[in-house]
């Protein structure tokens, strides 16, 4: 009997490992949570990068449809997607950038080096806007309609095809 008691923790551990393994086999790792799609833009006011003036995000949406792009100077995939953002700017797609958990001087250097595709750059130094949006990481891009409704979300660096799809939704 004492031998079975000694093996009980090992048996429980093996059973839990089996359950987690079966769960992982049924889980699709490509599924991206889109909790905010179909909901109103969070009621946020963030300082702009240029001078720190507070900008209500919903007021920015009232100017017309836009893409909201979360990025950071420390984010390698953000640098990879940057030429796609510059192309969107050339196509007159309105982009609002939110610098996520980044020092303003680093953000300015990043944009200065690669070019500024944004109509406005806002600063989310503490990451609160990221929490409100349900951000899973940077870069992430959201399509926001004139009414402030979030219409779509793209996780990861934008490809030209994904950018084209989002731009069509933003028009």
User: pLDDT tens, position by position, for the chain (171 residues)?
Assistant: 677 677 777 777 777 777 777 666 666 555 445 677 889 999 999 999 998 899 999 888 888 899 999 999 999 999 999 999 999 999 999 999 999 999 999 999 999 999 999 999 999 999 999 999 989 999 999 999 988 999 999 999 999 999 999 998 877
CB 46 within 8 A of CB 54: yes
Could you tell me the pTM of the whole model? 0.79
Q: For tokens 């889109």, what's the residue?
A: 34
Kindly state which CATH superfamily the domain 45-170 is placed in. Glutaredoxin (3.40.30.10)
Q: How far apart are CA 86 and CA 31, in angstroms?
A: 28
Question: Residue 30: exposed, middle, or buried by beta-carbon count in 10 A (0-12, 13-18, 19+)?
Answer: exposed
User: Nearest-CA neighbor of 46 among 120, 106, 107, 117?
Assistant: 120
């Amino acid at each position: 009997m004492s031998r079975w008691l000694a093996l009980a923790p090992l048996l429980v551990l093996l059973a839990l490992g089996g359950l987690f393994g079966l769960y992982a086999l049924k889980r699709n790792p490509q599924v991206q949570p889109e909790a905010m799609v179909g909901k109103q833009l969070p009621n946020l006011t963030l300082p702009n990068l240029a001078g720190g003036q507070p900008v209500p995000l919903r007021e920015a949406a009232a100017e017309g449809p836009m893409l909201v792009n979360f990025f950071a100077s420390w984010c390698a995939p953000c640098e990879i997607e940057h030429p796609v953002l510059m192309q969107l700017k050339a196509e007159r797609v309105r982009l609002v950038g939110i610098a996520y958990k980044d020092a303003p001087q680093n953000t300015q250097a990043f944009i200065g080096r690669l070019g500024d595709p944004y109509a406005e750059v806002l600063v989310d130094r503490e990451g609160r806007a990221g929490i409100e949006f349900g951000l899973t990481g940077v870069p992430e891009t959201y399509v926001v309609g004139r009414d402030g409704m979030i219409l779509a979300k793209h996780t990861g660096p934008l490809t030209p095809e994904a950018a084209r799809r989002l731009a069509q939704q933003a028009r």
